[in-house]
Amino acid sequence: MHHHHTLTDNLKFPAESRINVAFFAVAILGILLSAIGYIVDTQQFYFSYLTSFSFVASISLACLFFVMLQHVTGSKYSVVMRRIPETFASNIYVLAILFIPILFGMEYLYEWVREEKIAADPLVQHKLPYLNEPFFLIRNIIYFVVWSFLGYRLYQNSVDMDNQGDIAELNRKQKVLSAPGILLFGFTVAFASFDWLMSMDSHWFSTMFGVYFFAMSFQVFFAILILVSLYLRKNDMLSNTIRIPHYNDIGKLLFGFTVFYAYIAFSQFFLIYYANIPEATLWFKYRLDGNWAYMTYIIFAGRFAVPFILLLSKKAKANLKLLGGISVMLVVLHFIEFFWIVQPILQKSELGVHWLDFATLLGLSGLLLGLFFTKFKQADMVPKNDPYIQESLNKH
Amino acid sequence: MSTTNKKLHCILAEFENPAVLIKAAEKTNKAGYKKYDAYSPFPIHGMDDAMGLKESKLGWIVLFHALIGFSGGLALQIYTQVIAYPLNISGKPLLNLPNFVPVTFELTILLAAFGTFFGMFFLNNLPKFYNPLFNSERFEKVTDDGFFIGIEAEDGLFSEEKTAKFLEDAGAVYIEKVYED
């Protein structure tokens, strides 16, 4: 019964692998197409860009949260997989650069910056102390400084451990960083979601929107973790390190946070629907009108009903093929849900997909993955000197 | 005190540690014994496989109850709000599935919890106020540092000498015959 596992796998991502270059090529293609799109249809470009930006940002932010959570709780099971979210989170500073185009497109994206809208709308006037360009800029600078710092430090401390730093001291630092980090994360992510997405409809507000954004992101985080791990496994990397018991744990969490997502998303809808206050219900009315309604039902089925039923049994949560399939579906639907949040503002009654949606998605997700694999190559794929590595390896 | 007129319940064997216990349980299972159990102060990972236990049926019991709660909750609301007492509430349709979600959800969870709780009792033969094993003083160690296997006399393969010998060979440090009442 006592299997003692040791790190027998090669911990270096193969240097000859060109996967990061391949993703960068996809990114360049996407960015070039997006640039053409910007000239052809500037407004559509900004809406598509915000959709894709939210998609990549939410994934990176969920990774940051997961890393901090592991340190705060002193989790052991996840150590062998932790370098994956650490690496994603370390690249958050790039999101700050990717956010700059949105600042230039505010005129298109946010009605509360348009003079004629402000003049004609008392509700928007009332919200001006918060919704104004300088304050928006200051807030976003704060968000990105906080996230970039946390992501970078947590990664750097972890890599320093690999290189035989003072393990106990570095581990203490990780905890000291993560505890206030989680608090800051809660506020910054909630307000970022209000600023980026909720404020597009300047009349609408939902106090749950921050949690909703987080619930979406954290569900899809587990899907991303599973997919990256499966990619490594398929290429004979870390097969004896990230084993079935680890997938089983992540599968359970994926299931749990699928329910959490549904609970939050439905609660947000339900309270607004039940209370029936016009400026709150309108947001959902657009999304239940015309063919937008189909997308609403697809999101409900794909992000909750189908994965819930498929993952219900104990065996399913350790079935790699099933976990992989569900993860792909969830990642696709995560993008679709951002599309569903952002684009009805532009095309209120008829759902239409523009090629720019795909161009910006290719550009930004190609960049996200290209940067991820570039960094993943540079350090060991497992925090090999983490104080809990042995417990994590022995997981059964 | 004569023990000859008492009915033998089982042969109880104590083992030194969980590792020996799990090996002994595996041997007992392979030898073909059916009516036996392993006792330890804490759950031992891998014991289910060693004893050849099938997966618990509890999951199916819970699912069944959850489905009753789900359909019962829906049926209750559809009957009361659409058929029996159709009231117009802020102009919303009578058959209003979003409105039915909280009660349906609660009843699903409630019945699933009942199914889990009572199903666990049922599968574990609980409540059980008396077990012949309590006649063994040595067995009290099972809540502290004792690791036991008991093979019941009712087992088809059971024979007083052979079973005792078998357990001894499996590494038992102490063997006791436990009688009923």
pLDDT category at B1 given cuts 50, 70, 90 is very low
**Which CATH number does the domain housing residue B14 bear?**
3.30.70
Average pLDDT, chain A: 94
Last residue of a domain, one of B75, B102, B123: B123
A314 vs B59: CB contact, 8 Å cut-off?
yes
* CA of B45 vs chain A CAs: smallest distance (Å): 8
Backbone angles phi, psi at A128, to 5 degrees: -55, -35
pLDDT digits 0-9 by tens, A180-206: 999 999 999 999 999 999 999 999 999
pLDDT digits 0-9 by tens, A75-128: 999 999 999 999 999 999 999 999 999 999 999 999 999 999 999 999 999 999
pLDDT category at A394 given cuts 50, 70, 90 is confident
In a domain, B2, yes or no: no
Tokens of A199: 């404020």
Q: Which residue of B has its CA nearest to A269?
A: B98
In a domain, B46, yes or no: yes
pLDDT digits 0-9 by tens, A297-324: 999 999 999 999 999 998 999 999 999 9
A129 touches chain B (CB under 8 A): no
Average pLDDT value for residue range A250-278:
95
Dist CA A140 CA B93 (whole Å): 43
Higher-pLDDT residue of A89 and B172 is A89
Domain co-membership, B87 together with B141: no
Contacts of B18 in chain A (CB under 8 A): 1
Looking at residue A14, the DSSP 8-state letter turns out to be P
- Whether pLDDT at A349 is above 90: no
- Whether pLDDT at B3 is above 60: no
Average pLDDT value for residue range A18-33:
96
pLDDT on residue A36: 95
Cα–Cα distances in angstroms (integers) from residue A393 to residues A26, A172, A281, in the given order:
35, 21, 50
Contacts of A312 in chain B (CB under 8 A): 63
pTM here?
Answer: 0.90
**In this prediction, what percent of chain B has a pLDDT beyond 70?**
97
pLDDT digits 0-9 by tens, B134-170: 888 899 999 999 999 999 999 888 888 889 899 989 8
**Alpha helical stretches, state H, chain A:** 19-40, 42-73, 83-90, 92-104, 106-109, 115-120, 122-127, 133-162, 167-196, 209-234, 244-275, 278-287, 292-300, 306-310, 320-342, 355-378, 389-393
pLDDT on residue A196: 97
**C-beta separation of B163 from B34 below 8 A:** no
Contacts of B22 in chain A (CB under 8 A): 1
Q: Which amino acid is at A79?
A: V
Mutate to test the interface with A, among B101, B103, B116 (most CBs of A within 10 A): B101
A297 touches chain B (CB under 8 A): no
Average pLDDT value for residue range B113-127:
94
Domain co-membership, B85 together with B114: yes
Burial of A32-57, coded b for 16+ CB within 10 Å and e otherwise, reads: ebbeebbeeeeebbbbbbbbbbbbbb
**Alpha helical stretches, state H, B4-125:** 18-31, 47-51, 58-78, 97-123
pLDDT on residue A395: 84
Domain co-membership, B173 together with B140: yes
Dist CA A59 CA A85 (whole Å): 9
Last residue of a domain, one of B101, B123, B145: B123
Torsion of CA A132, A135, A141, A143, to 10 degrees: -90
pLDDT digits 0-9 by tens, A31-80: 999 999 999 999 999 999 999 999 999 999 999 999 999 999 999 999 99
pLDDT digits 0-9 by tens, A206-245: 999 999 999 999 999 999 999 999 999 999 999 999 999 9
Q: How many CB pairs under 8 A join A and B?
A: 21
Dist CA A55 CA A336 (whole Å): 9
Tokens of A56: 């990549």
Residue A274, C-beta contacts closer than 8 angstroms, at least 6 positions apart: B99
Dist CA A109 CA A94 (whole Å): 22
Residue B84, C-beta contacts closer than 8 angstroms, at least 6 positions apart: none
Domain boundaries, chain A: 16-203+354-372, 204-352
pLDDT category at B4 given cuts 50, 70, 90 is low
Long-range contacts made by residues A208-211, C-beta under 8 angstroms, separation at least 24? A208/A264, A208/A267, A208/A268, A208/A271, A209/A268, A210/A186, A211/A264
Q: Which amino acid is at A4?
A: H
**In this prediction, what percent of chain A has a pLDDT beyond 70?**
99
Backbone angles phi, psi at A384, to 5 degrees: -70, -20
* Full domain range(s) for residue B86: 58-123
pLDDT on residue B128: 86
pLDDT on residue A231: 96
In a domain, B47, yes or no: yes
Number of domains in chain B: 2
Contacts of A1 in chain B (CB under 8 A): 18-19, 22, 44-46
Contacts of B102 in chain A (CB under 8 A): 270
Backbone angles phi, psi at A6, to 5 degrees: -125, 165
Average pLDDT, chain B: 91
The CA-CA-CA angle for residues A219, A364, A145, to 5°, reads: 75
A1 vs B45: CB contact, 8 Å cut-off?
yes
Contacts of B44 in chain A (CB under 8 A): 1
In a domain, B138, yes or no: yes
Domain co-membership, B71 together with B37: no
A39 touches chain B (CB under 8 A): no
**C-beta separation of A177 from A155 below 8 A:** no
Tokens of B135: 């006649």
Backbone angles phi, psi at B10, to 5 degrees: -160, 170
B46 vs A1: CB contact, 8 Å cut-off?
yes
Cα–Cα distances in angstroms (integers) from residue A337 to residues A191, A323, A328, B50, in the given order:
19, 20, 14, 47
